[in-house]
Amino acid sequence: MKLNTRASLSTVALTVGAVLRRRGITAVLTGGACASLHTGGAYVSNDADFVVRGAVRQAALDSALGELGFERQGDRYVHPRVSFYVEFPPGPLAIGSDLDIHPVEVDRGAGPALVLSPTDSCRDRLAAFYHWRDRQSLRLAVSIARAQPVDFKVIEKWSRAEGSLEAYAEFLRELTRPKRTRVRRV
């Protein structure tokens, strides 16, 4: 598949994920790109983060991403016609202190790619809110929970284990607030 300047972040991320799977590389889409996927593009990150499971040689990543036209520049992969870059943050795949993560497959035409489930993507964004007080991550967690079915029992149990029940209560309050609409002045 050829990528171009009009490719959305989700398209780029899922295409990269599918190529990695075809090459036998187990890599899971996480972070903002995964949140973008689960919110239908309501949020757009600058990059797609994949956490690799198992040992993978740098040359294998270079070759897989090279198939799509990406070139490694330092710790990221860039494409001459795509405005998003790809990174591979170090593992293990975890959300806060939870290491028992079960990615799901998503296939939107390029082949199956591994991504965090909506529940885990919501927890991933909540982890940034809980640990760094990142308000944008809270808004993203709310957006995911509004756009996708998430398991609130799992999120609450995990929040308790993270020592963040107060922050979880704030998340629930934000969910019950009416959606904010932007008013354009003319």
Task: Per-residue pLDDT tens, the chain, 186 aa: give them.
Answer: 689 899 999 999 999 999 999 999 999 999 999 999 999 998 889 999 999 999 999 999 999 999 999 999 999 999 999 999 999 999 999 999 999 999 999 999 889 999 999 999 999 999 999 999 999 999 999 999 999 999 999 999 999 999 999 999 999 999 999 876 555 554
pLDDT of residue 109: 85
DSSP string, 83-103: EEEEE---S---BTTB-----
Question: How many other C-beta atoms are found inside a 10 Å radius of the C-beta of residue 27?
Answer: 27
Question: Model-level pTM?
Answer: 0.93
H-type alpha helices, the chain = 9-22, 31-38, 58-66, 118-132, 135-147, 152-161, 165-176
pLDDT of residue 186: 47
Using the structure block, give the residue that is written with the tokens 């490694």. 72
User: How would you class 125 by CB atoms within 10 Å of its CB: exposed for 0-12, middle for 13-18, buried for 19 or more?
Assistant: buried
CB 155 within 8 A of CB 118: no
Opening angle at CA 105, ends 76 and 142, nearest 5? 75
Using the structure block, give the residue that is written with the tokens 């889409």. 29
